[in-house]
Amino acid sequence: MTVTRDTVLDWMNRFAGEMSEHRQELVRLDTAIGDGDHGTNMDRGMRKALEKLSGSEPADAGAALKTVAMALISSVGGAAGPLYGTLMLQMGNALGGGSEVDLESYAGAWRKGLEGVQARGKAQPGDKTMVDALTPAVEALEAASDLDAGLRAAAEAAQEGMKATIPLVARKGRASYLGERSRDHQDPGATSTYYLFKSAAEALAG
Ligand code: ADP
Ligand code: MG
């Protein structure tokens, strides 16, 4: 099994659907420990991304991810837009122009994406950010021996990482301004990252 351009397009369609469906949930989470815009940011960014994808006919998986990245970077003002943009830009660059991506290259691209997010945002695991969902998910994919099971394990690991942000005190982003008061809330960015992996696993399963 491999990841192709069409798998990435299906993934982005599903992720945009999740961001639209869960916009209010993400707004509610961000209202508790931020400024309440994460749901609207991600929904707007992914709508733009779908628009760009339908107008551009990307040649391969890497080009599709780069198109999404540029749409997110240019249309989302908050912290998460540029961070998701960086994730997808680094993934797209790592995939290059290959038409069929195997597990090893795919896991490698996610690792590059995570490194990009951390280079840009300086967050470590435990800082209560999207990195807390991304890190265990990328590790699960790297440990997998087949793509389909690997992505399902990654989605589960992202969900665990998301839930594990609840007791944490935020050390990065707006939530960090709250100090102790950020405890006992689930991080919005870790939540959208769970949906990113959930939709990737579903797109691969078809
Ligand atoms: P903003 O905080 O600018 O309003 P969003 O509300 O769209 O942007 O996104 C907030 C999410 O972004 C947080 O829940 C967190 O997961 C993520 N985030 C914020 N700062 C960082 C950072 N430095 N590194 C990684 N993720 C971050
Ligand atoms: Mg916000």
The model's pLDDT over 26-62, given as tens digits with 9 standing for 90+, comes to 999 999 999 999 999 999 999 999 999 999 999 999 9
pLDDT at 191 over 90: yes
pLDDT at 56: 93
**Measured in angstroms, how far is the CA atom of residue 173 from the centroid of ligand 1?**
5
Give strand pairing partners of 3. Answer: 101
Closest CA relative to residue 132, chosen from 181, 77, 194, 174:
194
Contacts of 25 (CB under 8 A, 6+ apart): 39, 191
User: Residue 57 maps to which CATH number?
Assistant: 1.25.40.340
- 142 alpha carbon, distance to own chain's centre: 17
What pLDDT digit, counting tens, does each position of 87-107 carry? 999 999 999 888 899 999 999
CB 172 near ligand 1, within 6 Å: yes
CB 83 near ligand 1, within 6 Å: yes
DSSP, collapsed to helix, strand or coil, labels residue 101 as: strand
On whether the CB atoms of residues 61 and 7 are closer than 8 A, the answer is yes
Number of domains in the chain: 1
- Rounded CA gap, 59 and 6, in Å? 10
Backbone torsions φ then ψ of 98, nearest 5 degrees: -65, 145
pTM given for the model: 0.98
- Rounded CA gap, 65 and 190, in Å? 20
Using only C-alpha atoms, the chain has a radius of gyration, in whole angstroms, of: 16
pLDDT at 77 over 90: no
pLDDT at 117: 98
Backbone torsions φ then ψ of 63, nearest 5 degrees: -65, -40
**Measured in angstroms, how far is the CA atom of residue 203 from the centroid of ligand 1?**
26
Atom of ligand 1 nearest to the CA of 174: 2
DSSP, collapsed to helix, strand or coil, labels residue 3 as: strand
What pLDDT digit, counting tens, does each position of 123-178 carry? 999 999 999 999 999 999 999 999 999 999 999 999 999 999 999 999 999 999 99
Closest CA relative to residue 122, chosen from 172, 164, 87:
172
Closest CA relative to residue 193, chosen from 151, 161, 152, 147:
161
Which tokens go with 144?
A: 């997998």
- Residue linked to tokens 């990195």: 131
pLDDT at 206: 85
- 76 alpha carbon, distance to own chain's centre: 14
Atom of ligand 1 nearest to the CA of 188: 14
CB 39 near ligand 1, within 6 Å: no
Range(s) of the domain holding residue 65: 3-205
